[in-house]
Amino acid sequence: MKTVAIYYKTTADSYKSLWCSSFEEGVNKHSNEWQAIPVKDGSVIESDYAFVFNYQMFNDANKPNTSLRRRVIDKFEPTGKIFYSDGDVLISYCDYNNGQDKEETISGLRYVRIPYGHVHPLKGCKWFMDPNANIDRWNKIKLDRNIVVKDYDLKNGDYILINLNRGSEGYSGEQKNAADFAIETTNILRQYTDRPIMIRLHRATGSYGIKDFDKLYAWSTSGVVKDVRIQSKQLVKRHTQDDGYPPILQAIRNSYAVITFASSSASPAIIEGKPVFVTSPNCYFYDMSAGQLSDIEKPNINLNREKWFIKYANTHFNTLDLSSGYFWDIAKRMI
């Protein structure tokens, strides 16, 4: 009998523990071979595999849930026998921040990725995908969540939008400073285009976000660059610009193209018919990149979006997929 320890205390939010209980229930649907062991305190136990609510870069002793994540990761990541829940790459399109988080999680309208081994593909991350994956699952998700896929349009767009990761803090940003990335990217773009550039900072406004904003605001208003503007909550808060941080879909729809290091906030461009340029090979939608930054005026839009939608729909799972055993039926064959 193989065991999977489910670490409930790796999230501090009660409704998010539904992902843990659903994972546990689904593993136990295969009880002839597998046993899920719920761990509901702060201990780290012996088991064959582990599941934590999310990845954690640093051990913050002041936050018991994230500290526990890191301790579990330290134990299991060397062998690669660890599962994580991770965000939906279309979270910016589907607007989960509507006060119905728990209800959507229970009903199956909320989806997550479940990386195995690591969260970065170049470090061994494995995505689980039904071997019989087809477009049907995407069509259902698209209908359930009112997703409208648009044709590519290169004729309209007020600016090139650079969507930034969360400072140097988020693991998807690989500790690359967001402000530095924006400046480097802008300098490269200016070799190939004179289009206006809009730099959009992450919605989180921690100390790192304030530092990034201060650096970019000083740089963009110094006169050393032309036609570069910023979208940031700090503009609204400190410079009373009411339009300083419009909704992400509005920002994407008004753009000519979208650029990111690895922020999921850029992924709605795939649906909106905007070329997206992705610079990190670890990014989930790197295979939808329209080329190098030097291709900004001639982006490749002959990309197989249907193939990407199939990949998306069949590597994202809801609580019903987990609790029914559907996910584990796929995963157990691949680990």
Q: What are phi and psi of 231, to 5 degrees?
A: -115, 120
Strand 316-317 relative to strand 34-39, pairing: unpaired
Residue 56 pLDDT > 70: yes
The pLDDT value recorded for residue 158 is 96
What gap in Å lies between CA 25 and CA 321, rounded to an integer? 11
Q: Average of pLDDT values for 224-249? A: 84
Write down the domain spans for the chain.
2-146+312-331, 159-300
Give tens-digit pLDDT for 274-326.
Answer: 999 999 999 999 999 999 999 999 999 999 999 999 999 999 999 999 999 99
The pTM score is 0.91
pLDDT at 95: 65
| 266 pLDDT higher than 70 | yes
pLDDT tens readout for residues 196-213: 999 999 887 666 678 888
Please name every residue paired with 198 in a beta bridge, in sequence order, or none if there are none: 161, 229
3-class SS string, 128-158: CCCCCCCHHHHHHHHHHCCCCCCCCCCCCCC
Topology (CATH level 3) of domain 159-300:
Rossmann fold (3.40.50)
